[in-house]
Structure 1
């Protein structure tokens, strides 16, 4: 890794890519990477090329690849033919275990509803709020990304391509403020004064929006005015949750608690968690045919939580994130890099232009480092929580080599 690969994609990868383009919708594929397997923080493609992974599959692989505890968990299901159940019709031990494990890292008095994905977690968060407040407009942020299902998409405001010609639920927007002195920091109060609102929904770190980090006052205002006007505050932790910021949840950096929240990715399945006072009074108000119904994913989700605790990976995310951010910050003001921001191992690098960003993403890939785009002209970096000091330095070496040249 580090040396440029001129024959990417290789012949095996090219055959897979061509088959995909012929028979499947060519959606959001970023690189000509066809994954074969991985170990630790390294991904190998089917032609044998190895890549240092600074994406953890957008946070969905917090323990990297082939982690021994995860491999052991998967092995336990190799002969269990009932790994897929109708997860809201029948009970299983894995469902109970994950509910108990996640309750230990949620705010006190919270319960959880498991579903299949992050977008479904957001959909059910919205449903819970509507049950309490009625079908009123919801408030979300400019630059937000909450998912691609139509409800979640209504409150997404990231890129026009996500929403063109699709119907939307009624919504209102506020600026996602990253500075306490932003002139729009109090806009939420004016909206709540003048309108009946079903909920306020925001990320703490905007994922697709560019890894923008909310200001302390902005988040404090959302909590204060949501409470004052009796409106539930929904926090979307689908990408930031389960340790990536150095805490279980990004909102813990702000000393507040939500009324309703979402999780997925690192958890392996989707989850909508809520203060018990928001629990729907009617059974089956929330349901999903296969919601949380994959016993393997639920078992892996529990194991992820247990390993993060046992191996003190929150502390590692903080230490490695500080090291990585420091190394990247040395590049600010050089070669089109205008900003570096983030919490823990969720780091955004802002470029002067989208074209410049895209070129550098491609060059890093060719040199064996996986990163992803975000927002209009940002690069997102979210390595597995197990990443080591040596791998941080290896990644920084590649980034200096690639980013600091014309």
Structure 2
């Protein structure tokens, strides 16, 4: 007798409905595939929202868990005590970044990483207006939520900080480049600008290079903190360790999480905590969740050892080309196929078609996830090869043809 239906049914009685996408009860995984409690095998085309960039069933990660099972302590207050795991991971993260990004603050999640990026700026400048992009997503905690604009339900009835939204400019958009300058002249010099170089929940939309460089230029000229959110796009997914590398800019502060296994706020010296500010940012488990920190370190080692950043670049080009070919076959159904590395958005002509395809794909053992109103995100584990990619693309093409 199948176990998944009863687990789903009982879960809905005792758990808050936070947005479960399909009745999948995860038990195991191998490579690009997830297995449920009934041993059904699903090809994962979104890496559980980019949290599993190196795939499933990794012996290196199993070994980390095995080694820590021998320990008598797994979680300590990482802001009161030092841990070797936090030191090792911080050094590995900083090694992938420009030298101007000098210090790391570890935290539980991506939203908390954004919260602390904002707090670092407010500590120096005061609680002035922050600037974000239309259709941005930076998290669901109240501070980060102010600067999140991808879906109205995320913010309904919640209070917000002073903020201003700019148009997000992709290569295909007509862009109002002077918008930030106009804000400064008309109203106020903001404390910070925060953006994703590739919007995640906003539809897997890469920003135009000219737009990102313009924002960096204006923020430098006016001493405005420039924060880049790498929570989904980082850790090699776009074919670079960090998506901002595609744009020849360097932020003042960066956030990371998901595939890193912990949240991280990485700052330049300008926004580092000084002696008078010690205690302004803190967290019980920040830098003290030993297993997650060790797992993050092992993930970075795998990415480097197996050259998965290069594979994300190569396979991203391959898969995007395949989707562009499918778009040419069905131009009335697919209005755009875009992306950077293995962060690809296939935008349908309407939400109804998008959802029908996602639901049907689950029945066909392919895991898909929406982004924005009409887009299907394609973000498989970075270990994917052409044969595995072709299996998922073949399923998806049949569904596009059908629906």
Query: 1:115·1:292 contact (CA, 8 Å) conserved in 2?
Result: yes
Alignment counterpart, residue 152 of structure 1, candidates 135, 144, 149: 144
Aligned length: 397
> What is the CA distance between 1:183 and its match in structure 2?
3.7
Q: Secondary structure at the match of 1:331?
A: helix
What corresponds to 2:281 in structure 1? 286
Is residue 39 of structure 1 aligned with residue 34 of structure 2?
no
What corresponds to 2:46 in structure 1? 55
Is residue 395 of structure 1 aligned with residue 392 of structure 2?
yes
**CA separation in 2, counterparts of 1:125 and 1:180?**
30
> What is the CA distance between 1:180 and its match in structure 2?
7.1
Q: Return closer, same or farther for 1:142/1:40 CA change in 2, 3 Å cut-off.
A: same
Unaligned runs of 5+ in 2: none
Query: 1:107·1:257 contact (CA, 8 Å) conserved in 2?
Result: yes
Is residue 107 of structure 1 aligned with residue 107 of structure 2?
no
> What is the CA distance between 1:188 and its match in structure 2?
1.5
Q: Return closer, same or farther for 1:144/1:266 CA change in 2, 3 Å cut-off.
A: same
**CA separation in 2, counterparts of 1:181 and 1:309?**
35
What corresponds to 1:202 in structure 2? 195
Alignment counterpart, residue 192 of structure 1, candidates 170, 184, 200: 184
Mapping of 1:132-147 within 5 angstroms?
A: 132-147=124-139
Q: Deviations over 1:72-98 (max 9, x none)?
A: 122111121211111111111101111
RMSD across aligned positions (CA): 1.2
TM-score for both structures, normalised by structure 2: 0.96
What corresponds to 2:88 in structure 1? 97
What corresponds to 2:223 in structure 1? 230
Query: 2:169·2:175 contact (CA, 8 Å) conserved in 1?
Result: no
Q: Secondary structure at the match of 1:209?
A: coil
Query: 2:83·2:287 contact (CA, 8 Å) conserved in 1?
Result: no
Is residue 77 of structure 1 aligned with residue 72 of structure 2?
no
Is residue 331 of structure 1 aligned with residue 323 of structure 2?
no
What corresponds to 2:111 in structure 1? 119
> What is the CA distance between 1:404 and its match in structure 2?
1.8
Q: Deviations over 1:29-68 (max 9, x none)?
A: 1111111110111101111211111111111111111111
Unaligned runs of 5+ in 1: 1-9
**CA separation in 1, counterparts of 2:400 and 2:165?**
35
Mapping of 1:248-327 within 5 angstroms?
A: 248-281=241-274, 282-327=277-322
TM-score for both structures, normalised by structure 1: 0.96
**CA separation in 2, counterparts of 1:263 and 1:183?**
28
Q: Deviations over 1:312-344 (max 9, x none)?
A: 111100111111111111121516111111100
Q: Deviations over 1:233-269 (max 9, x none)?
A: 0001111010100111000000100001100001000
What corresponds to 1:384 in structure 2? 381
Query: 1:13·1:32 contact (CA, 8 Å) conserved in 2?
Result: yes
Query: 1:325·1:341 contact (CA, 8 Å) conserved in 2?
Result: yes
> What is the CA distance between 1:11 and its match in structure 2?
3.0
What corresponds to 2:358 in structure 1? 361
Structure 1 residue ranges (4+ consecutive) displaced by more than 4 angstroms after TM superposition: none
